[in-house]
Amino acid sequence: MAEDKIASLIRELLVELGENPEREGLRRTPERVAQSLRFLTSGYRSDPKAVINSAVFSSHANNMIIIRDIEVYSLCEHHMLPFYGRCHIGYIARSRVLGVSKMARIVECFARQLQIQERLTAQIARAIRDAIDAEGVGVVAECRHLCMMMRGVEKQNSIMTTSSVLGSFHDDLATRSEFMQLLAGRTAT
C-alpha cells in the first residue's frame, strides 16, 4: 500500500470537500488517514493459513467447541463506514483443533478488508473448516452498521445478525440447534 499516494488523495479529497488541508487541525490528517487505512485494510495483506501458522493441534475430542464475543471491526464496502459487533464461532473437530487465539486472528484477517457482513461470516466459517477439516462449523455475527446509523435511514438501534453453517452444523438440525441454544443461553462474565 502506497501511503504517500493515499495521503495525497486524501489531501485532494479535503480540498474537494471545501476544506483547507493546510489549516492547523488538518495539516497531518492525510498522513494519519493513510496510516489508519493501512491498518484497517491489513486483511488484504494477510493470509489466513499464515495467521494460523502451527497452531493446529491433534485432539481426539469430537465435542462442540465454541468461542463467543470476538470483537469485530470492519469497513462497509458500500460507504467505507465502520461496522462493528461480535462474532461467535463453534466447530466440531475430527482430529485437530485450532489454538483459541487463532480464531480471533482469522476474524481479524477477513474483517480488516472492505466487507459486507454476509461475506465476512461465510469467509470465517470456510477458513476454520479448511484449516482443520472440521466436521462442522457455525459462525454467527451480530453487528451495528454506521452506514445505517449516521446516514441514510439513521436507525440507531438496529443490529444485523448473519450466520454461516457448514458440514454437520448445516446438515444436522440437532447440531445446529445445540449451537444456537448455547449462544442464546450465554452467561455474562
CATH architecture of the domain 53-184 equals 2-Layer Sandwich (3.30)
Rounded to two decimals, what is the model's pTM? 0.92
**pLDDT digits 0-9 by tens, 11-70:** 999 999 999 999 999 999 999 999 999 999 999 999 998 999 888 899 877 789 999 999
* Partners of residue 141 on adjacent β-strands: 87, 162
CA atoms within 13 A on the CB side of 109: 20
Which residue ranges make up each domain of the chain? 3-40, 53-184
